[in-house]
Amino acid sequence: MLLSVSPDETHAAELAREQAYVTTLYTKLDAERVDAQRRLDETLRLTGGTPQARTERDVATTLYTDRLAQLGSVEQGLAFGRLDFVPGSTEETTYIGRLGLFDEDDDYQPLLVDWRAPVARPFYLATAASPEGVRRRRHLRSLTRKVTGFDDEILDLAAADQGQDLGLAGEAALLAALEQRRTGEMSDIVATIQAEQDRIIRAPLGGVMVVQGGPGTGKTAVALHRAAYLLYTHRQQLTTRGVLVVGPNSTFLRYIGQVLPSLGETGVLLATVGQLYPGLDADGVERRETAEIKGRLVMADVLANAVRDRQRVPDPVLEVEYEHDVLKLDRKTCTDARTRARRSRRPHNPARRLFVSDVLDALTRQASRKLGEDLLDSQDVQDIRAELAADEHIAAALDELWPVLTPEGVLDDLFADRERLGSAARKHLSEAERALLESSRDAKWTPSDVPLLDELAELIGVDDTEARVERKRREREDRAYAEGVLDILEQDEEIIDEELLRVSDVLDAELFAERQQERSELTAAQRAAADRTWTFGHVIVDEAQELSAMDWRLLMRRSPNRSMTLVGDVAQTGAAGGARSWGEVLSPYVEDRWRLEQLTVNYRTPAEIMAVAARVLAEVDAGLTAPSSVRETGVPPWSVRSADLASELPDLVTAELSAVDGGTVAVLVPAARFDEVSAVLGAFGERLSVLTVERSKGLEFDAVVLVAPDEVVAGSPRGLNDLYVALTRATRRLGVVRTGDDVPALSVLG
């Protein structure tokens, strides 16, 4: 008798097989977690020993702590792919997942291959036209530990003929991922990375790579997965120096903050430029025009002048009281001392020693003459010099001529004093521009002050020895404390030895956490955050088009090896001092030694919305092409005119919130309307965000309502770029609320 098996039964049997395999993977994962925890506990129990033993323990503790964090992060979607190769190929069926798992009992055969390993590459790159030995690619879908389904792609030439215009791999899985409601936090894309993205993620570590791509092409996603890939592939090199990821503002950093931990990577420093000067989180707000001036390259000259202006000489003579007499410091003596100190090419504070020494020599000669040179031996002269050096009047005179400076002090004084600013900047900035700087020094430091402070720190030569010594002292204290705790617990343990109680069983959770904290403080990222002169193994900049020339100077200092990935879109530049072209930005640092990669497919914005955005882009620059959308929603964008926002906007927002069914909605406004609209929409809760267009950069929402597009366009010289950014934030729905003049590029909306 012939048995007939229905497709459903085959599918169900296959699903059961996948479930069985995935279950063994989770069992293995659980065993690894128990093992890592046990090893960590054992390491934490050990105390004392030689310095080398302690160092080894520290390394082991960090290793097991990191491993535990990594094992904890991969719970969701542990395995998401499978490759079956053509018969006769050297590869066997391979499962691809968020980390690698091996079978120790079977010669360390891989049970699951880390997505970053070379063997996993065909999962992202193989196509029907170029299958790389792959016969079938399978995307596994799962919910917690349950496999809920799978999608297969058979990579043969018949499939190649079915015209995959955009060359998308795993289309069903990709579209399912893109259709997901947005939560307000970015997710990783590890299961559905596309070929053009994969090539960028796995590009070699060295050199400067620019990734140019329109909105929604996955630049941010690619940048973060690249960080994870580089840390996996060049772990040794990068864990000591660390990886820096720079984003445009703290809202954006919060949005992307979970992606790297979800990929098992915690050692990356995420920061805005405003956070790259230790001790400051500069988030003050200022006018665009002021930020633009502060971002200009000439500010480096202005600051150099400001520091030189603090190196003064008497005009004509400075008289200093000394021992009931008066010593005279003349212009020539001081000018000579100043010239020698400047010629040393040391920064201001270290060069002060030379200046002071020369001036003291001159004063010593003078004082000796007065006392009668012939009567003094060399010891007497030395004593006189020491006395002069300790004299408060002389110290005050030296401070006047060559003060010890701080970057904050110099910048504050410069912006607060018209004369100083005039002297330092007259040649570089107009009176009106100087007036803008002068009015900018309110209470808070702004992000554009940070590269200026950093520049000043270089010019002044800030001595951070004290900070370093203090840091070391704190580390030692923390360690001694933690060890003390463990010693006590170990003594207890001796008493209850028979019960074989482990330290970790009795170690108070809070103390344990503190000890963990101490360990994590020692990661490269943490140390880097506290050290202005830290140089990173790799620097990744997102929304790189927004950075000013002065921002670039700061970042280049943090990356002397020029191992950098810069992602951005020159069509979205909003900052007045931002990039117009990548060549212009980079040539001062690397000339033409940088490579360009492009991303061309928009995964975020549906075709219906992109059609509108493309018209705006054509007005920005007819030569620019908008990326092609990967999907349509069938929902056309809408537009209404409102004469009374306060009464009409809440209803429009309510309708959008219900249309996205649990998803997120953003109301984007020109900066001048932010307070008004926030007040109107104050009570809508978490799913609604009211943001200025500038703050929405890099973010996305299920629905976007854009208010007053004409004001967005008129609001800045790059207003059309801002409009383009605003229109491309939506993953499903877009609405425009007009309050004033019509914007020609939006006329298609009615």
- Residue 715 annotated as binding? no
3-class secondary structure, 588: helix
- Residue 284 annotated as binding? no
Cβ 178 to ligand ATP shortest distance, Å: 6
Cβ 264 to ligand ATP shortest distance, Å: 18
Cβ distance to ligand ATP smaller for residue 366 or 721: 721
Q: Which has the closest alpha carbon to 116: 220, 234, 27?
A: 234
Cβ distance to ligand ATP smaller for residue 168 or 238: 168
Candidates 310, 338, 515, 604; binder of ligand ATP (CB under 6 A) is 604
- Residue 184 annotated as binding? no
Cβ distance to ligand ATP smaller for residue 215 or 347: 215
- Residue 662 annotated as binding? no
Q: Residue ranges of the alpha helices (H) in 496-545?
A: 503-506, 509-521, 524-529
Candidates 537, 606, 698, 709; binder of ligand ATP (CB under 6 A) is 698
CB atoms within 10 A of CB 44: 25
- Residue 49 annotated as binding? no
Candidates 286, 569, 608, 694; binder of ligand ATP (CB under 6 A) is 569
User: What region does 623 belong to: left with phi over 0, alpha with psi -120 to 50, or beta?
Assistant: alpha
Cβ 695 to ligand ATP shortest distance, Å: 13
Cβ distance to ligand ATP smaller for residue 211 or 503: 211
Interface map 702-731 toward ligand ATP (x if CB under 6 A): --------------------------x---
CB atoms within 10 A of CB 750: 11
CA distance linking residue 257 with residue 251, whole number of Å: 10
Does the protein bind ligand ATP through residue 247 (CB under 6 A)? no
**How would you classify the pairing of strands 628-629 and 601-602?**
parallel
Cβ distance to ligand ATP smaller for residue 558 or 631: 631
CA distance linking residue 624 with residue 214, whole number of Å: 10
**How would you classify the pairing of strands 701-707 and 101-103?**
unpaired
Does the protein bind ligand ATP through residue 193 (CB under 6 A)? yes
Cβ distance to ligand ATP smaller for residue 391 or 722: 722
**For residue 545, which amino acid is it?**
Q
CA distance linking residue 184 with residue 188, whole number of Å: 13
Contact segment (CB under 6 A) with ligand ATP among 24-32, 45-53, 191-199, 353-361 equals 191-199
- Residue 215 annotated as binding? yes
Does the protein bind ligand ATP through residue 125 (CB under 6 A)? no
Token couple for 272: 């805005």
Q: Which has the closest alpha carbon to 192: 630, 740, 612?
A: 630
Does the protein bind ligand ATP through residue 177 (CB under 6 A)? yes
CB atoms within 10 A of CB 477: 11
Cβ contact 192:177 at 8 Å: yes
Cβ 494 to ligand ATP shortest distance, Å: 54
Contacts of 607 (CB under 8 A, 6+ apart): 628, 629, 631, 632
Q: Is the peptide bond before 316 cis (omega within 30 degrees of 0)?
A: yes
Does the protein bind ligand ATP through residue 168 (CB under 6 A)? no
Q: Which residue is nearest to ligand ATP (CB)?
A: 218
Candidates 15, 176, 178, 395; binder of ligand ATP (CB under 6 A) is 178
Contact segment (CB under 6 A) with ligand ATP among 85-93, 189-197, 312-320, 632-640 equals 189-197
Q: Go through the chain and tell me how many residues it has.
A: 750
CA of residue 481 relative to chain centroid, distance: 33
Distances (CA, A) of 217 to 160, 448, 544, 584, 695: 24, 28, 15, 23, 19
Does the protein bind ligand ATP through residue 355 (CB under 6 A)? no
Token couple for 691: 């943001």
Distances (CA, A) of 412 to 304, 419, 619: 15, 13, 41
CA distance linking residue 27 with residue 554, whole number of Å: 48
Give residues 194-233 in contact with ligand ATP (rule: CB under 6 A): 194, 197, 213, 215-221
3-state secondary structure 648-665: HHHHHHHHHHHHCCCCCE
3-class secondary structure, 698: coil
Give residues 572-601 in contact with ligand ATP (rule: CB under 6 A): 572
Does the protein bind ligand ATP through residue 700 (CB under 6 A)? yes
Cβ contact 209:595 at 8 Å: yes
Cβ distance to ligand ATP smaller for residue 563 or 728: 728
Candidates 96, 174, 293, 737; binder of ligand ATP (CB under 6 A) is 174
Cβ distance to ligand ATP smaller for residue 83 or 613: 613
- Residue 213 annotated as binding? yes
Cβ 553 to ligand ATP shortest distance, Å: 24
Token couple for 344: 């040393």
Cβ 601 to ligand ATP shortest distance, Å: 8
Cβ distance to ligand ATP smaller for residue 454 or 543: 543
Contact segment (CB under 6 A) with ligand ATP among 184-192, 499-507, 606-614, 640-648 equals 184-192
Contacts of 692 (CB under 8 A, 6+ apart): 668, 669, 670, 671, 674
- Residue 220 annotated as binding? yes
Quickly list DSSP for 564-601.
EEEEE-GGG--STTS-S-HHHHHHHHHTT-EEEEEE-E
Cβ 83 to ligand ATP shortest distance, Å: 18
Cβ 449 to ligand ATP shortest distance, Å: 26
Size of the site for ligand ATP (CB under 6 A): 24
Q: Which stretches of the chain bind ligand ATP, using CB under 6 A?
A: 174, 177-178, 187, 189, 192-194, 197, 213, 215-221, 569, 572, 603-604, 698, 700, 728
Q: Provide the annotated binding site for ATP.
A: 213-220
